[in-house]
Structure 1
Amino acid sequence: IFRRLGENNLSPDPKPAIVVVYEASREIRSAIIFGTAVVVLAFMPLFALSGVEGRLFVPLGIAYIVSILASLLVSLSVTPVLSYYLLPQAKATHDHTDGRLLQLLKWGAGFLIRFSMRRAGILLVLTWVLVGVSVWELSKLGADFLPKFDEGSVQINVTLPGGSSLKASNEASSLIDAQLVKMQKSQENPQGPVLHFFRRTGRAERDEHAQPVNVGEYILTMNQDANYDRDEFLETLLTDMKTNVPGVGIEAEQPLSHLISHMLSGVKAQVGIKIYGDDLDKLRELAGDVRDAITDIPGVTPPIIDPQERVDELHVVLKPEELAYFGLSREYVADFVETALKGEAVSQVLEGQRRFDLIVKLDEPYRSDPYNLGALRLELPDGRGQIRLREVADFPGSASGPNLVNRENVRRRQTIRCNVSGRDLASTVEEIEKQVREQVELPTGYFVEFGGQFEAQRSATFLITILAAVSVAGIFIVLMMLYPSARITFQILNAIPTAFIGGVFALVLTDQTLTVASMVGFVSLGGIAVRNGILLVTHYFHLMEEEGEAFSPQMVLRGSLERLAPVLMTALTAGIALIPLVVGGNKPGLEILYPVATVILGGLVTSTFCEFFIHPGLFWKFSGKDAERLGRSESSDEELLRAATQQHT
């Protein structure tokens, strides 16, 4: 609108401002509508995400789509009205020359556009060579599920052998406390990395994650003013704990990462190796073999095996013949033994507003003594007297059993878990899988599954890749509706690989891995890049249809230079908003936005540059008869419409 008003002011026969505003709005109407449709299609893969990644990124997709639809409504309604009232008398629309900066940019862009039209084929080949290089670089980056979080705190998980008492847990914790106090900030140690810490041992039976007293956790609040590297601190912490607290499993990670891992697979670590089989002793043996196989892999924290141990048990084995002789049922005897050992509520005790069950059961010394338990007397049916429990049951002296039996999908399971530090998740898991398959021989009926965050990363990556391809197919159909020419449509879609190149090299420069967050950045980047291509090509056709320009290098040069300012302004407004997120780095609270902003900013730079360095040449070199055909057909439609209007008048 601004440019058309300026041209109208130079005309010897100027049109009314409202006509100029209307015609300028109609000129870009289809480009804006189809560009918005393309962006919406590009964001569709986000809505297929489920789980944690869906909860994180679906709101982002909703917010972006709603905002861009609102901007579409404003651009088609409010913007033309404001332009009509504010721009016709503005001094800038009567200034007949471009600003110095824009003149300089057009001068430089002119060289790029002319070179593009002379060497279009070479530039196209070079583009796809760079795409291949980018894919190669992307494969070397490594992959993680989500960026590493830093909430300013660290969680230490402590696991003692199964069946350990609260006293044993407290003794081990006192050793850990002593090590943490040495790292705590104080007057003598102002650069101590730990501000304060607290411990929780076990969890109540009715807690969402009930745990025995042999399992505990520490939450450390870190000193943000201290100069320390997070990964180095965790490595040092684990080494010190392993040396000073032997026999205890120690894990250290971020609290949020711990929760995400638990929600994803039920394993409280980034990597969970699950062994399935029937025999618990064999499962524990195989778990030890797996632990030994992965212990020396670089980047893997000390592996922890689920604390399934054999503990002493009191077995009561009933005698079928004696039960039949005395006329007793198994259920009757089992209820009797349960009452003796576990107890039975016979009444309630009131204390103020609180109520407590009154439980009757054997005293502690008698509950664990088979001889005293066998001396208990059972009432016989029909008042036939009493017998001792040992007369209908045996009490094996050397009985034992597992303290815990984990199952998944009805199969017994043993889990080895570990975290990854100083290395990407995907390559670490690949090496873990290789070592386990090469060094651990599984008997028939036993198998291994790998779970944890990496499993969600693989699933999300595959899903986004497939749906992104479907989204590109949808964009192709939308563009074919706008320009029924495969040549022109593919030229516009070429903006996606040029944006991909910039996004990948932005990740390389900032030393980031490929995460679900960065993939979301690539998804959104594709829609933005294609939208700019639509604006450029639409203007080429406008010059041929409305202003009588022939399909020629001069028309391509003019159309590209006239679209230079709008395209640069679009890229700059987005870039200015993203620069603070990228320059600020991976700060606490910005872990999700940082990779998204990095990819979009890098892609915007390359796609905007290629918009004038590659795409004009592609349009001139490969559009040919299709461009002339579309220009003539749409121009003839306009002439028929004008003729019909004049005849009606």
Structure 2
Amino acid sequence: MLPSHFAEWTPRHYAPPPSVRWFSRLRAAYSRVLFRFLRRRYFVVGGVLVLTMVAGAMIPIIGVDLFRGEKVSQFWVHVWMPFGTSLNYTDEVVTEIAKRVRATLKKDEVISIVSTAGLLQTESEWHVRSDAGQVAVELVPKDRRTRSTDEIIEELRRALADVVGPKSIEFFQTAGGLPVGKDIEARIMGEDFDELQTIAAYLESRLQGIEGIREIADDFSSSKREFRFEVDREAAAAYGLSARDIAYFLRAAVAGVEATTYREGTDEISVLVIFPERFRKNIELLTNIKFITPRGEAVPIARLVRMEEGMASPVIRHTDGKRTITVTADVDTDVLSLVDANRFVRDAFDEIAPLHPDCRLRLGGRFEEFTESFRSLTSLFLIGLFIIYCILGWQFGSFVLPVIIIFAIPFAFIGAIFGLLVIGEPFSITALYGMVALAGIAVNDSIVMMSFIKNARDRGVQRWLAVVRAGRIRLRPIILTSVTTAFGLLPMAVGLGGYSKDWGPLANTIVWGIIISTAGTLFVMPCLYTILDDIVNWFRRRLRGKAAEVE
């Protein structure tokens, strides 16, 4: 840029080279087009506003996948056995699944297959249980195999469909970026487990018939048999006993109580006093055990408690103090958008909600991250916009010029949306980052343009001459600045050396945003300045007219 400025502002004593003559013709053509735009400035600015609204309306068309990222060449097969399954049997089933996985995959597709019984890792928690297991599969990079990871998983679904033993087999594929949970994560909250199970079953049945939704499951653990003892407080009081005394006795009978400890070398060993196993496994024998009261009487436990047999979940999850069952599912975003899938879950819950007024639904996972991230980025964008306005107002000493400069941001937004449409990528978190970055990049050329116009007007130059001269003088640096920035990001945008779904959309939004915002700065920004100047002159004439009437 410095040689360009030097050549622009110093006297010439030589014949200009062809490149300079070419740019002179470009500048002349720009001046002619700018004059035409200025004559139709109201139509030009109105058209830009319409294009901005059209670009916003195109977001649903290009699709929204906020956490779209590069798929990692690795996936897990999650195996859930019926509750209480022994670790040995779980290990047998997981080993059989690992054998089928190895037999299904081609030798040149897989790097390693690791099976684990008793451990199941998810994004939210690790399950260390005898009835859970997993098979971790690492594939070769995608450019070295003919099938995609999704195609391999679909074939494995068919191969594992007839495995005997598991309650469910789920596939989990990792993606680049932050862990954000499942595509659909519907938390059903309430107090009655029967109601929660009914709603969960209804949602799962509704999701089964939707194309693009798969891996439907819930986190409700199978119920186990339990015995509940309710203390007969009147009978206990008659024998001088409290509920605490009876609870302590039952705990000691079933779980044992530490009587003492002794040392053997450096080890400290606890001595546990507990009833024989035959008493603990037989509820009739347990309730007939005699309790020695403070009076020295031997009273069977059955006289002091009322026993009730029932079923209970081994794990009770809570959200905001409410019992919770979470229904999860994966969404094929090529078939169904994440927003539409979660909207369907909400509609399905609203259908059954009147029958269960004490239950409510909270959508989590990727959708929750979507809404929170969008809200946070919107807030940051508005704060940044306000800071930019304050700095520009302080620098220019005007409240109007910063508004004109900030108007370059809609130009960038139009270009960013157009860029996503051209490359066929959905609106994602990285594209949103690019748009936020454009808010700072796009105003640079506008600042230079407005600064030249303001300085010329301060020197008394007529409005039209100041606008056209500013455009002509700043044409070369504005183009050079935009071209160098765009070309610097071009390899990432077009994927030279490999396209990244993580950073490609960010580069594309910036490149296209800069191109369109540059055109807006050169042609639309002068129109907007003259329109605001028309408005200011109109108010001045009105004020002068009123002042003349008063005189």
**TM-score between the two structures when normalised by the length of structure 1:** 0.71
Structure 2 CA distance for aligned equivalents of residues 469 and 118 of structure 1? 34
1:248 aligns with 2:167: yes
- The 5-angstrom pairing of residues 447-596 of structure 1 reads 447-483=360-396, 488-543=401-456, 550-553=462-465, 555-584=466-495, 592-596=502-506
| 1:256-286 deviation digits (Å, cap 9, x = unpaired) | 689723xxxxxx5232112222221222122
How far does residue 301 in structure 1 lie from its aligned partner after superposition?
Answer: 1.5
Q: Is the contact made by 2:224 and 2:311 (CA closer than 8 Å) also made in structure 1?
A: yes
Structure 1 CA distance for aligned equivalents of residues 374 and 68 of structure 2? 14
Amino acid at match of 1:324: A
| 138, 146, 149: which one aligns with 1:227 | 146
| 1:475-503 deviation digits (Å, cap 9, x = unpaired) | 34443444456664443233111111111
1:201 aligns with 2:118: yes
Amino acid at match of 2:171: A
**Range moving further from structure 2, 334-343 or 104-113:** 104-113
Matched residue SS, 1:297? coil
Matched residue SS, 2:443? helix
| 1:442-464 deviation digits (Å, cap 9, x = unpaired) | 32322222222212212322343
- The 5-angstrom pairing of residues 68-87 of structure 1 reads none
**Range moving further from structure 2, 444-453 or 476-485:** 476-485
| 1:140-198 deviation digits (Å, cap 9, x = unpaired) | 22323422342332233333344444345334423422331124442xxx2x3564334
Structure 2 CA distance for aligned equivalents of residues 313 and 595 of structure 1? 55
Matched residue SS, 1:313? strand
Structure 1 CA distance for aligned equivalents of residues 228 and 401 of structure 2? 81
Matched residue SS, 1:214? strand
Structure 2 CA distance for aligned equivalents of residues 464 and 510 of structure 1? 24
Shift of the 609–355 alpha-carbon distance from structure 1 to 2, 3 Å rule, reads farther
Counterpart residue number, 1:607:
517
Q: Is the contact made by 1:159 and 1:216 (CA closer than 8 Å) also made in structure 2?
A: yes
Amino acid at match of 1:583: V
- The 5-angstrom pairing of residues 123-142 of structure 1 reads 123-142=44-63
1:434 aligns with 2:347: yes
Shift of the 556–330 alpha-carbon distance from structure 1 to 2, 3 Å rule, reads closer
Structure 2 CA distance for aligned equivalents of residues 592 and 354 of structure 1? 55
Matched residue SS, 2:215? coil
| 259, 280, 292: which one aligns with 1:379 | 292
Amino acid at match of 1:568: I
Structure 2 CA distance for aligned equivalents of residues 385 and 123 of structure 1? 101
Amino acid at match of 2:98: D
Aligned residues: 528
Shift of the 338–185 alpha-carbon distance from structure 1 to 2, 3 Å rule, reads same
**Range moving further from structure 2, 221-230 or 458-467:** 458-467
Amino acid at match of 2:340: S
Counterpart residue number, 2:25:
107
**Range moving further from structure 2, 340-349 or 214-223:** 340-349
- The 5-angstrom pairing of residues 315-464 of structure 1 reads 315-347=228-260, 357-381=270-294, 384=296, 386-393=298-305, 395-396=307-308, 398-423=309-334, 424-438=337-351, 442-464=355-377
In the alignment, structure 1 segments of 5+ residues that lack a partner are 11-93, 262-267, 628-649
Structure 2 CA distance for aligned equivalents of residues 379 and 99 of structure 1? 113
Shift of the 198–580 alpha-carbon distance from structure 1 to 2, 3 Å rule, reads farther
Structure 1 CA distance for aligned equivalents of residues 286 and 349 of structure 2? 48
Q: Is the contact made by 2:186 and 2:326 (CA closer than 8 Å) also made in structure 1?
A: yes
Structure 2 CA distance for aligned equivalents of residues 596 and 422 of structure 1? 19
| 20, 25, 37: which one aligns with 1:119 | 37
Structure 2 CA distance for aligned equivalents of residues 477 and 259 of structure 1? 34
Structure 1 CA distance for aligned equivalents of residues 386 and 223 of structure 2? 58
| 1:355-407 deviation digits (Å, cap 9, x = unpaired) | 6645443344432211332343433326x2544434534555x4333323222
Structure 2 CA distance for aligned equivalents of residues 352 and 102 of structure 1? 94
**Range moving further from structure 2, 507-516 or 463-472:** 463-472
Shift of the 485–373 alpha-carbon distance from structure 1 to 2, 3 Å rule, reads same
Matched residue SS, 2:227? coil
Structure 2 CA distance for aligned equivalents of residues 146 and 586 of structure 1? 23
Structure 1 CA distance for aligned equivalents of residues 307 and 112 of structure 2? 55
Shift of the 536–511 alpha-carbon distance from structure 1 to 2, 3 Å rule, reads same
Matched residue SS, 1:371? helix
Amino acid at match of 2:365: G
Structure 1 CA distance for aligned equivalents of residues 411 and 145 of structure 2? 42
Amino acid at match of 2:511: L
In the alignment, structure 2 segments of 5+ residues that lack a partner are 538-551
Matched residue SS, 1:302? strand
Amino acid at match of 1:578: L
Shift of the 215–4 alpha-carbon distance from structure 1 to 2, 3 Å rule, reads same
| 1:1-47 deviation digits (Å, cap 9, x = unpaired) | 6566556753xxxxxxxxxxxxxxxxxxxxxxxxxxxxxxxxxxxxx
Counterpart residue number, 1:46:
none
Q: Is the contact made by 2:65 and 2:426 (CA closer than 8 Å) also made in structure 1?
A: yes
Q: Is the contact made by 1:155 and 1:252 (CA closer than 8 Å) also made in structure 2?
A: yes
Structure 2 CA distance for aligned equivalents of residues 504 and 440 of structure 1? 39
1:598 aligns with 2:533: no
Amino acid at match of 1:133: V
**Range moving further from structure 2, 441-450 or 352-361:** 352-361
Shift of the 357–245 alpha-carbon distance from structure 1 to 2, 3 Å rule, reads same
How far does residue 571 in structure 1 lie from its aligned partner after superposition?
Answer: 2.0
| 180, 185, 189: which one aligns with 1:276 | 189
| 91, 106, 113: which one aligns with 1:170 | 91
RMSD: 3.6
Amino acid at match of 1:405: I
**Range moving further from structure 2, 606-615 or 596-605:** 606-615
Shift of the 570–249 alpha-carbon distance from structure 1 to 2, 3 Å rule, reads farther
Amino acid at match of 1:392: L
Counterpart residue number, 1:213:
130
How far does residue 470 in structure 1 lie from its aligned partner after superposition?
Answer: 4.8
Shift of the 301–203 alpha-carbon distance from structure 1 to 2, 3 Å rule, reads closer
Shift of the 451–625 alpha-carbon distance from structure 1 to 2, 3 Å rule, reads closer
Q: Is the contact made by 1:145 and 1:515 (CA closer than 8 Å) also made in structure 2?
A: yes
How far does residue 586 in structure 1 lie from its aligned partner after superposition?
Answer: 11
How far does residue 533 in structure 1 lie from its aligned partner after superposition?
Answer: 0.5
Matched residue SS, 1:251? strand
Shift of the 488–282 alpha-carbon distance from structure 1 to 2, 3 Å rule, reads closer
**Range moving further from structure 2, 530-539 or 606-615:** 606-615
